[in-house]
Structure 1
Amino acid sequence: MKEEALFEEFQHFNHLLRRHTKRKTSEEEFSFGQNRLLRILARQEGSSQKELAQRMNIRPASLSELLKKLNQKGYLSKKQNADDRRITNYFLTDSGKRYISSMQDERKQLGEELFATLSLTEKEQLHQILNKLALQLEEKLDE
């Protein structure tokens, strides 16, 4: 099989996953960036705006807009850092935590449905292949 065909199949699968995710997030009126920011905060609550911008690889001004909208929707809160009052730390509210929990449940269910078609050996092979490709791509990004 040609690499170009593999790449196109991979992109098509990725597109389908994003469409599925977008359908859920648009029901909740979230952009892809807002959803991603909530997932990052769920893993690392208390992050500063600078840390979040670096993790998301976006400009601070773009992040500021995401933070503002999520704060207005009641999904995150901000607190001034006790050690350095120039820094603001961001946290999920109870609503934000419930949303993330529902998204995790949905992702788990989708994963179970998708991967049920694969044998244990195929799942292990896919895991190894994806890790190998990710490592290669990370090395290219570091060049």
Structure 2
Amino acid sequence: MYNITSEKLLQQINYFTNLVNRQQHNSNSKDNEIMVSRAQGHLLGLLLMKDGLTQKELSSQLQIRPASLGELVDKLQQNGYVERRLNEKDKRVSNVYLTEHGRNSANEVMQARMQLVDNVFSGLSEEEMNQLSSLMSKLIDSIEQSSGENIEKLRKEHHGIRGDQDFPGGANFFRDHQRER
């Protein structure tokens, strides 16, 4: 059901996405001390919530392939953000822990992320954000239903993380993390 309004909405969504990506890039550029990718930031955030997860648990939580997770952990370990330790109960398994440097960096990444979220949604009330979230969920569901089986392939190809899972702990993680500090 193509019409001018739907075309305008699609253009607005694209423009909004570009603006958020630019803000995120500018935020990352300003902080030269913490040079982590988005995926690395997700992993650090997850470990900040629950340190010592196995690689299998991390892979499942982040919805990425085990091999991709291994590469991610390797890079973070090389840069001193995390360390692997053999699991005491099963020596075939290693758990991933934040180092002190990793914990400090994860907190800084979290603060930058919260600032970005505040900047992006400062013009909306809580009720408006809930309405927007509901509408976005409807759009996502519609796209997934029309994509059929292809959506699983798309998720695997792009290591997609959706909705509240976009950052470990979901939308409330930032508020909960802020209260803890």
Question: Distance in 1 between the 2:7 and 2:98 partners?
Answer: 42
1:89 shift after superposition:
0.6
| Alignment partner of 2:81 out of 75, 78, 84 | 75
Q: Runs of 5+ in structure 1 lacking a partner? A: none
User: Does 2:99 correspond to 1:96?
Assistant: no
Question: Distance in 2 between the 1:137 and 1:20 partners?
Answer: 26
Question: Distance in 2 between the 1:30 and 1:122 partners?
Answer: 32
| Alignment partner of 2:112 out of 88, 92, 106 | 106
Partner in structure 2 of residue 39 of structure 1: 45
Partner in structure 2 of residue 20 of structure 1: 23
User: Taking structure 1 as reference, are residues 68 and 120 closer, same or farther at Cα in structure 2, changes over 3 Å only?
Assistant: closer
| Alignment partner of 1:7 out of 1, 5, 10 | 10
TM value normalised by structure 2: 0.63
Q: Runs of 5+ in structure 2 lacking a partner? A: 153-181
Query: What is the one-letter code of the residue matched to 1:20?
Result: Q
RMSD after superposition? 2.7
Question: Distance in 2 between the 1:127 and 1:95 partners?
Answer: 34
Question: Distance in 2 between the 1:54 and 1:82 partners?
Answer: 21
Q: How many residues get paired?
A: 142
User: Does 2:61 correspond to 1:58?
Assistant: no
Bigger Cα displacement from structure 2, 67-76 vs 100-109? 100-109
Question: Distance in 2 between the 1:137 and 1:41 partners?
Answer: 32
